[in-house]
Structure formats: structure tokens, C-alpha cells
Amino acid sequence: MTTTNTEIDRIREQLRRAVFGGAWHGPAVTEAVDQIDETRAWTRMPPSGHNACEILLHIASWLEIARDRLEGRVVDPTAEQDWPSPEDPGAAAWAAAKRRLRTAYEALDRALAGLSDRDLERGAPGKDYNLYFLAHGVIQHSLYHAGQIVLFRRLMEEVA
């Protein structure tokens, strides 16, 4: 466990755990994703719902949106920004979605590193909540969807 001194340090640590592992609750986003192969990444569970690739891109998109807001930009995401459409199904698109998640995480982490604890009290641009709430919210959002991916994998294994 990393020793942290500031709230920013603690938020960054929780974000890292939510995305890459070591979360208290169970699998982080990448741990859940690593259990899905490039074929199953495109299976909709339920058939009218999202697939794992769409969910992964959705998580990445919200990491990007959170970064933009932390950096002072007003962001009102379009439907395509909220739920980006993946490339054509296949291994290359699945790998690209994983890279986008990592890139989005790294950019958000850099934005967080540039803040002070006092900055967390500032309002999020265009929102009625502060940056502290935003930072914790994007962590919670990522973990929520990691849980969905884990459940998808379990359901797919049962029907296989």
C-alpha cells in the first residue's frame, strides 16, 4: 500500500486501484477486461444491451471528460462521447479500446497531479458539484462498470 499525504495523493491511488488493480472490492477495470477475449468482447449481455468493448470505451470516455473538467473545460458530452462506437469487431479494435483506457487514465492522473487539495473545492465547470465530487465520481463510475464486465463474463461462461 502506498503511503499518501494529501487528498490528491489518495484520490490518485484510488483511481489507480480502480483501473489497474488492488481495489478492496475485487477486480479493477483492467483485471475484468483481461478476463474477456477479443471474441467475447463483442457479445451483448443481454442481447439488447452493451458489450464489453462499448463499456470499456464508455469508461475511457468518462476518464477523458473528467480530465477536461479538472482542467477547467465545460464539457457537455454528446451521445457519441458518452457511449463511443467501437471500431469493427475484432482483436485490433479490442486492443485499441484497451489502449484508449490506459491513455485516458494517464491523462487524468497527470491532471490530478497538477492540482492541490484546495483546488478540489473549486466547482466543476458547468456543474453544481466540486472537483472533489467529480474525482470520486469517476472512480465509482469505473468500478461500477468493471462489475458489469465481470458479470458479463460469468453469464457468457454459463451459456457457453
Residue 36 backbone zone (phi > 0: left; psi -120 to 50: alpha; other: beta): beta
Domain ranges for the chain, please list them: 7-159
Instruction: Answer yes or no: are the C-beta atoms of 63 and 104 closer than 8 Å.
Output: yes
- Number of Cβ within 10 Å of residue 74's Cβ equals 10
> Regarding the domain delimited by 7-159, which CATH topology (the fold level of the hierarchy) does it fall under?
Four Helix Bundle (Hemerythrin (Met), subunit A) (1.20.120)
Q: Residue 97 and residue 155: Cα distance in Å, rounded?
A: 22
Element (H, E) at 50: none
Widest distance between CA atoms in the chain: 51
Would you call 20 exposed, middle or buried from its count of C-beta atoms within 10 A (0-12, 13-18, 19+)? middle
Provide the residue-wise pLDDT of the chain in tens; the chain has 160 residues.
556 699 999 999 999 999 999 988 889 999 999 999 988 999 987 788 899 999 999 999 999 999 999 999 999 999 999 999 988 899 999 999 999 999 999 999 999 999 999 999 999 999 999 999 999 999 999 999 999 999 988 888 887 6
